[in-house]
Amino acid sequence: MKGTFQTIEGTSDLLSGAQRPLVRIEVWRHVEHVIHTVMHRHGFAEIRTPVLEPTGLVARGIGELTDIVSKEMFTFERGDTSYVLRPELTAPIMRAYLQHHMEQKPGVQRLYYIGPCFRAERPQKGRYRQFHQFGAEIIGTDDPRADAEVIAVMMDIYRTLELTKTQLRINTLGDAETRPRFRKALVKYLTPHREALTKISRERLSRNPLRILDTKVEAERVLLEDAPRLLDYIDEDSRGSYEALKGLLQSLSISFVEDPMLVRGLDYYTQTAFELEHAGIGAQSALAGGGRYDLLAPAIGASHPVPAVGFAAGMERLILALEASELLMPEEHPFDVWMIALGETAGREAFLLLQTLRAAGLRVGMELGYRSMKAQMRLANRASAQQVVILADRELEAELATVKDMGTGEQSMVPLARLADNLIKKLN
């Protein structure tokens, strides 16, 4: 082996003060904070599930024919059990809902999450092997207000972060009976044009034909203009819910466009489907997607459908979009106090004072090594400290310390006995 280990391709470290292309952890924490705050305001409760799940849950929950399950799962065996690093959280959350009998709790369940997900995709801008999703689910009702509420909380997060240039697209996929009928009609229409399709679409024609509607290939888009339209196959209930959802979004002033070609990659969606895009982040432009998934519960072993709707969004893409919009992001937190020690006795004294000030709630830093005054002052500047305390062996004999106010540049000698109290009073 040559050199040191590196992160696996498609994964990355988060570092304080990091430069692009790495994400600064300060930005990450700011975004997480906004997500928690907005979710809390909308009455969603946080849920954290394990990163490891049974492979069967994901395979059955997402569908064997999807790209995720057929090509992108990180799985491994231990004994006779197969484990998967979760590629998304909707199936795990439905598992948790069923496992903990949350249907017995009063009212609908509003749940939200933030956490890492794993997919063995070809890494590129906006597409990673370890990425992070946040999202929300409302479980236990088929009321279209739940669909509108999930979209509203999602939009509120982007609005709070002042991200503009997003576009919301919505569609309805109909119910469990609609889709097979539409699928048949679509396959019938496309089969004579098989040779004109790309290799991927030819594969999809037999495995997952609805995904062809998603195509970005111009010639295929033209071909699809005359294809059967999903909307013509929709049952009355689905149509009614869709109209209600549109009305609710309009009254909430959430703008959207209807996109009859919008289908979701995942198999368990019924009725509402939506996607949020951003124009400034390149080819991987989807910030978030979601919809209704009443059929997920029976797919993973429940005896009956459980009406549910949710969204899932990518953290990395959100941060890419914030960077592209040049929005001001938080810097590293400044220090209240930076201790400088010149000499070993001063070093011990400074260390004790440091802990006293921290215990009182101040953010205090110091170098652990006896470097020159100049070098330590440079660190104090980098830490943006408000006050710098300088302890030197010589002044300690007189029980004095120097305090420098970095804002005004004023410097004073303070008796050691009063130093901690003075600083705490000034800075707390």
Nearest distance in Å: CB 121, ligand AMP: 5
Distance CA 426, CA 269 (A): 58
Nearer to ligand AMP, 130 or 178 (CB): 130
Nearer to ligand AMP, 88 or 367 (CB): 88
Residue 185: strand, helix, or coil? helix
Nearest distance in Å: CB 113, ligand AMP: 12
Nearer to ligand AMP, 149 or 316 (CB): 316
- The strand order across the sheet containing 81-85 reads 52-54, 81-85, 74-78
Amino acid type, 201: S
Distance CA 36, CA 58 (A): 26
Nearest distance in Å: CB 132, ligand AMP: 8
Buried b (16+ CB within 10 A) or exposed e, 405-421: ebeeeeeeebeeeebbe
Instruction: Please say whether the beta carbons of 171 and 274 come within 8 A.
Output: yes
Nearer to ligand AMP, 139 or 266 (CB): 266
**Cα 378 to chain centroid, rounded:** 36
Nearer to ligand AMP, 127 or 363 (CB): 127
8: DSSP letter: P
Q: Give the helix/strand (H/E) hosting 403.
A: strand 400-405
Nearer to ligand AMP, 139 or 288 (CB): 288
Distance CA 411, CA 402 (A): 7
Nearer to ligand AMP, 116 or 343 (CB): 116
Of the candidate residues 26, 294, 316, 367, the single one contacting ligand AMP (CB under 6 A): 316
Interaction between residue 414 and ligand AMP (CB under 6 A): no
Interaction between residue 265 and ligand AMP (CB under 6 A): yes
Which of the stretches 177-185, 223-231, 310-318, 387-395 binds ligand AMP when contact is defined by CB under 6 A?
Answer: 310-318
Instruction: Please say whether the beta carbons of 53 and 258 come within 8 A.
Output: no
Nearer to ligand AMP, 265 or 298 (CB): 265
- Residues numbered 170 to 189 that lie near ligand AMP (CB under 6 A) are none
User: For the packed helices 315-324 and 25-41, what is the interaxial angle rounded to 10 degrees?
Assistant: 110
Instruction: Please say whether the beta carbons of 237 and 254 come within 8 A.
Output: no
Nearest distance in Å: CB 63, ligand AMP: 12
Distance CA 123, CA 330 (A): 28
**Cα 327 to chain centroid, rounded:** 18
Of the candidate residues 262, 312, 403, 419, the single one contacting ligand AMP (CB under 6 A): 312
Taking residues 268 to 307 in sequence order and writing x for each that binds ligand AMP by CB under 6 A, - otherwise, the string is ------------------xxxx------------------
Taking residues 85 to 114 in sequence order and writing x for each that binds ligand AMP by CB under 6 A, - otherwise, the string is ---x--------------------------
Taking residues 119 to 148 in sequence order and writing x for each that binds ligand AMP by CB under 6 A, - otherwise, the string is x-x----xxx--x-x---------------
Residue nearest to ligand AMP according to CB distances in the complex = 314
| Two tokens, residue 375 | 């070098």
Q: Which residue has the tokens 């209807």?
A: 258
Q: How many residues does the chain have?
A: 428
Chain residues that interact with ligand AMP, rule: CB under 6 A: 88, 119, 121, 126-128, 131, 133, 265, 286-289, 312-314, 316-317
